[in-house]
Structure 1
Amino acid sequence: MLAGIGLLAAVTVGLTGCAGSGGSAPAASGGISEAKAKTATSAADFGGMKGLVASANAEGHLNVITLPPTWANYAKIIAGFKKKYPKIAITSANPNGSSADEVAAAKSLKGQSTAPDVFDIGTAVLNQNLGLFAPYKVSNWADIPADFKDPAGKWYYDYTGLMSIGYDSSKVSTPPTSFADLLGPSYKGKVAIKGDPTQANEAASAVYLAALQSGGSADNIQPGIDFFSKLKKAGNFLSVLPTQATVNSGQTPVVLQWSYNNLAFGAAGGSAGNPNWKTVILPGSALGSYYNQAINVDAPHPAAARLWQEYIYTPEVQNLYLAAGAYPATLAAMQKNKTVNEATLKTVGEPPANFVQLTADQATKAGTLLSAKWRAAIAG
C-alpha cells in the first residue's frame, strides 16, 4: 500500500469544473503583439511577468483540454487560475478524453479560436507529435530536474501518480493482493481500465504494470498484453470506460488507474464519491508515468497559454497536485526551498524507492507493440 493512502482519502478533492465561453484571440493590446507572443520562449520576451499577464488579459481566454475535475485536483487548479486572473475565461474541453484526443483536436481545430492552447499529455503520444509544441521555459525552470524536461522547453513533466487497483469493498469480498488474483472467478466481469491502451496513457500504464507484475519489464511489456488476453478469456475484463457514475452504480467494481484517480472515486470525492471504494498499491515495482505540459505551437491564445504554464509550476499548484496524491515535478526543489506542504507530503508519503517509469524510448517501443498486438489480444 502507498504510505498513508488511507489517510489521503480524507484529503479534499474539488469536484466542480470551471468553464467559459469560446472567443477569438485578438492581438495582445496592452502587451506584446500576438505574433510575438506565439514565439515567446520566456516571460522575459513579454518584458517580465507583468507584461505576460497584460498580454494574456488582452487575449481574455484560455482553452484547456482533457482535464477531468477530479483528476489531480484540476477543479481547484482551474478555479485558482480564474480567481488569480479574473479577466481570462477558461474553456475546458472534452474532460474525459485521451492524450490522442488532445492531438486530434489540435490538428482538426488548427487556426480556430476553439483549438487547445495547452496540453497535459502522456509521453508516448507526445513523442509522436513533437512538431505540435512551442518552446517555452517557465520562470522557475531550474526547479524542474534536467531529465524531466526538454532542453529547448517544448515539454516538461508536471506530475505522476502510481498505477493502482481500486475496488468496491461491498462487491469484492477478497481484496486483490496481486495481478494473478484478478484472473480468479470472483473477479468475473469486474475489471476495467481507463480506455484504449493504444490511445490513452493511463490505460497503457495498466498494461505496463501488468507486465512488471508478470515477469516483464519496462523493456518488455508483452507479458502485460498476455495478462489482459488471459483476463479477457476468463471473462473478467470489462470493455466499459470507468467513471464515478459507473463506480457508484457497481458497473465497474474494479478499476486499474492512477492512484489519485482511484482516491478521488472514494471518500476523497466527498458526497459524490463511493465510501466503499478502496485503493491498493501492489507490492513490488511501483509504476508511475509523469504527464507532460506543453504549449500548442498554433495556440489561439499564446500569451494565456504561457501564463498557464507559469501558474502550473508555482509551489501553490504543485502542492495542489500533491494534495490529490500526485507527485509534482518540482517536489525535490520544493522540499529544498521549504515550499512543499509538509503535512500533505507526510500524508501522501515520499515517492517509493522502487519507482519505475518508462523512458521516452521505452514508451515509444511499448506503444508500437500495443498498437500491433492489443486488439488481437482482447478479441473474442
Structure 2
Amino acid sequence: MHTARVKACVLGLAGALFLGAAFCGTFAASKSKSLNALIAAAKKEGQLTVIALPHDWVNYGEMIQTFSKKYGIRVNELNPDGSSGEELEAIRANKNNKGPQAPDVIDVGLAFGPQAKQEKLIQPYKVSTWNTIPANVKDPEGYWYGDYYGVLAFEVNKSIVKNPPADWADLLKPEYKGKFALSGDPRTANQAIMTIGAASISFGKKYENAAAGLEFFNKLNKAGNFVPVIAVPGTVASGETPITVRWDYNALANRDKSAGNPEIAVIIPRTGVVAGVYVQAISAYAPHPNAAKLWMEFLYSDEGQLIWLKGYGHPARYQDLVRRKAIPAAIAAKLPPAQAYEKAVFPTLEEQEAAKKIIAADWDKVVQVDVTK
C-alpha cells in the first residue's frame, strides 16, 4: 500500500530520519482522517445500490454482507443476474432518478469500462491502494479499474453428462444433443461474448476473428446441441442446461455449493483458454457517491481482495498480496493449479471491442437463434 512512500521513509538519509518519519506519520494520519471522513459521509447517505452481483459470483455474497455489517450501510441489490450491457443501460435509464432503481456502482467486462467513460456514464475515483493495481488494467484517470480475473471453463452436471467434454470441438458430439447453453445473451453479456471468442481461438483463429466462433455456434445449433436458454446454476443442476461455459471462479463456487448433489465437474478446455478481467466503476449519477467510494475502498483493501480470492477470482492486487505474503495458506490451498492457466490468452481492449461488434451485428444472421432467460 503506497510502496513508494513507505520506501522513502525507510531509505531516507540518516540525517533526515526524523523528518522522514514525521512526514510518513503525517501522511498516514492524513490518510486515516480522509478515510474516516468518507466513512462518516457514507454512513450519512445510509445506502449503496449495486447491480448484477449474484451472491455466488466470485463470493459477492460475503463481500456485500461484510461491507454492510462493517459500515452499517444497507446494500440495495438490483438485477443480480444482469449483464454488463444491462448495467450500463440501468445508468442511462436513471440519469435523473435518485431512487432505488439507480445504481451507484457497476462491475462490468473490461470492454465496457472505456465505453462507459466515453458515454460519460461514470466518474473518476482513485482508491488509496491505486498504485498496487496493475497499470494495464486501469484507466489512468481513475474512471475504471480491474477488480478480478478468471478463465472460461466448462461447467458440467456429471449426474447427467457422464463423459464431460474436454475441449470445444467435443461439444459437437451427438451425445451432447440438447445439452449445451450459454451463460448469457451473446449480443450483450460479456461472459457469453468472450465464450464465442474462446471458440474462435480453439479453432485456430484470433480472438477478434469472431466469425469463426459464430460459425461454430451455428454448427452447434444445427446439430441440435445448443439450447437457446441462458444457463444459470439452477438450470445446470436441474439438467435443463447440463453443460455451459462459465468463469472458472463461478463454476468452482457452484461445484462447492452443490456438494456433490448433483456432481459438478469444472474443466478448463485444452485449447481456447481465454482469461477475462472485470472492472469496477462509479456511476456519474450515483445517488450515494460517498457510499460508492467507500465500497471501492473496501473492495481494493486487503480484506476485500481476499474475499474475492476465497471465491476463486484472482483479484487485481493479487501480485501485491503475494509479494507481501498476505494470502492465508488455507485460501492458497484451494486455488486451481497454476499450470491450468499457462495457455490463457488475455484479449486486449481493442480485440474485445472488435469481437464484440462482430458478434452483436452477426449473431442473429449467422446463428439465427434468440437466447432468452
Q: Same fold (TM over 0.5)?
A: yes
The answer to whether the 8 Å contact 1:218/1:357 transfers is no
The letter of the residue matching 1:336 is R
Asked if structure 2 preserves the Cα contact closer than 8 Å seen for 1:62 and 1:117, the reply is yes
What is the aligned-residue RMSD (CA, Å)? Answer: 1.9
Q: What's 1:223 paired with?
A: 212
1:262–1:279 Cα contact (<8 Å) kept: yes
Which residue number in structure 2 is paired with residue 20 of structure 1? Answer: none
Write the deviation string for residues 144-195 of structure 1: whole angstroms up to 9, x where unpaired: 0111111000000001121000111121132211111100100001001111
**1:285 and 1:209, CA in 2 relative to 1: closer, same or farther beyond 3 A?**
closer
| CA distance in structure 2 between the partners assigned to 1:44 and 1:280 by the alignment | 48
Q: How far apart are 1:325 and its partner, in Å?
A: 1.4
Of 166, 180, 193, 2:169 maps to 180
- SS of the aligned residue for 2:276 comes to coil
Supply the distance in 1 between the matched residues of 2:362 and 2:247 (Cα, whole angstroms).
23
- Structure 1's unaligned 5+ residue stretches are 1-42
Deviation at 1:238, TM superposition (A): 0.7
Find the counterpart in structure 1 of residue 322 from structure 2.
335
1:64–1:116 CA contact under 8 A, matched in 2: yes
Note the alpha carbon deviations across 1:30-58, whole angstroms, 9 max, x for none.
Answer: xxxxxxxxxxxxx9799510000010011
> Are residues 44 and 102 of structure 1, via their aligned partners in 2, closer, same or farther at CA, if it must alter by over 3 Å?
farther
Separation of aligned partners in 1, 2:273 and 2:188: 22
Quick check: 1:62 aligned with 2:51?
Answer: no
Give, in angstroms, the shift of residue 264 of structure 1: 2.5
What does residue 352 of structure 2 align with?
363
Measured against aligned partners, the alpha-carbon deviations of 1:111-165 in whole angstroms (never above 9, x if no partner) come to: 3222100000112233322111111100011110111111000000001121000
Matches within 5 A, 1:171-320: 171-266=160-255, 268-270=256-258, 274-320=261-307
| Equivalenced residues, count | 335
Identity of aligned residues (%): 39
Shift of 1:341: 2.6
What's the counterpart of residue 72 of structure 1? 58
SS in 1 for 2:333: helix
Q: Does the aligned pair in 1 maintain the 2:197–2:208 contact within 8 Å?
A: no
Aligned residue identity for 1:187: Y
Alignment counterpart, residue 163 of structure 1, candidates 137, 144, 152: 152
Residue 78 of structure 1 aligns to a residue whose secondary structure is helix
Partner of residue 95, structure 1: 80
Deviations 1:53-93 (A, max 9, x none): 0100111110000000100000000001011111x111010
Residue type at the aligned position of 2:160 = K
In 2: Cα distance, 1:250 partner to 1:200 partner: 22
| Alpha-carbon distance in 2 for matches of 1:302, 1:46 | 19
Change (3 A) 1:221 1:99: same
Residues 15-34 of structure 1: matches in 2 within 5 Å?
A: none
Unaligned 5+ segments in structure 2 are 1-28
1:303 Cα deviation from its structure 2 partner: 0.3
**Structure 2: distance between partners of 1:137 and 1:363:** 25
1:247/1:265 contact within 8 Å kept: no
Distance 1:219 1:205, change over 3 A: closer
Identify which of 74, 93, 118 aligns with 1:108.
93
- State the partner residue of 1:83: 69
Greater Rg by CA? 2
- Counterparts of 1:346 and 1:146, CA distance in 2: 28
Q: Which has the higher helix share?
A: 2
TM-score (normalised: structure 1): 0.84
CA-CA distance at 1:323 after TM superposition:
1.5
2:311 & 2:318 partners in 1: Cα distance? Answer: 14
Amino acid at match of 1:321: W
- Residue 15 of structure 1: aligned partner: none
Code of the residue aligned with 1:306 in structure 2: it is K
* Structure 2 letter corresponding to 1:179: W
Is the 1:265–1:274 contact (alpha carbons within 8 Å) kept by the matching residues of 2? Answer: no
Corresponding letter in the other structure for 1:90: V
Residue 52 (structure 1) aligned with residue 41 (structure 2): no
Q: Could you tell me how far apart the structure 1 residues matched to 2:53 and 2:143 are? A: 20
Contact 2:149/2:314 (8 A) holds in 1: yes
